[in-house]
Copies of this chain bind each other. A is one copy, B any other.
């Protein structure tokens, strides 16, 4: 592992985007979203994801020139078509539009069909929170998670993002419906380390902390067993029905050709009801209470979602952003 200065990471990604065919502001934004994701410590969805992104541009699953368009709308709620353009650019545009609708109407929503993998979902939660808004967003994915009661991948590990604005640091929950991503499972199995909690089933159908056994069986565990399975299903229904786009089971089952996702973006403007000071007082009381609770391990105080992101962001800006030597070389050779 190397550490490279953030501006170098961004510059290398920007150059690569231009090579792929992205132009102007779009190349800059796409590079920034990848770079910021790695800077924030979400290594699975930043630079390490870029080779797959590039491959999907080359195999034409992603149309690098496509920009999202508004299909229809009614007041605070709109439906958009992503035309299979780059998923992070589509999602960013959708959340920007949602923010505008929420600022005008108190609340806004965009249902986006026919898009692509949005990389780090949390990016769009941070965006809305930086504008002082509450937000929810989620995406469906190809079926990569067995629903409760089957060994067959049936539902997506649909990421769900909920974000809350806070001047001292936004609160951003960014979670998939599986207990561990396949990226995390791969990291544990590579290190030959047991998972901290059971993350799926082995070939015999027993719950296990053996990441390699789960990779082999492809039976990752939904969070909360039947609960995460049900949550994933209803998020998929909402995404497909509201956007008019594809449901999980209609997406190509090959991760290198996974195109056509449906996504929902919702934002709420809390300043319609309360001053920033009043809102801040409430969230600070909740966080102060959380931080005051006695942890099991005195060295590991309780954290709110997003707190660790800010620590990693600071550290990576200070020391350089960690990159895998091989991926970094690949990027610079483009």
* Chain A residues proximal to chain B, CB less than 8 Å: 72, 74-77, 79, 105-109, 111, 134, 147-152, 154, 162, 164, 171, 173, 175, 179, 197, 205, 207, 223-225, 227-228, 230-231, 233-238, 240-242, 244, 247-250, 266, 268, 270, 272-274, 278-279, 282-283, 285-286, 289-290, 293-297, 300-305
Q: Which of B227, B233, B238, B294 contacts A175 (CB 8 A)?
A: B227
Sorted from nearest, which 7 A-B pairs have the closest CB atoms? A223-B224, A77-B106, A230-B305, A74-B272, A74-B106, A249-B289, A162-B234
Report whether A233 and B290 are in contact in the complex, using a CB–CB cutoff of 8 Å.
yes
What is the CA–CA distance of A130 and B223 in the complex, to the nearest angstrom?
Answer: 29
Report whether A175 and B230 are in contact in the complex, using a CB–CB cutoff of 8 Å.
yes
What is the CA–CA distance of A250 and B150 in the complex, to the nearest angstrom?
Answer: 42
Contacts of A223 in B (CB 8 A): 223-225, 227-228
A and B contact pairs by CB, cutoff 8 A, 12 listed: A74-B106, A75-B106, A107-B108, A134-B238, A150-B294, A173-B234, A175-B227, A197-B225, A230-B304, A233-B305, A237-B283, A249-B289
Known contacts being A173-B231, A223-B227, A244-B273, is A154 close to B74, with CB within 8 Å? no
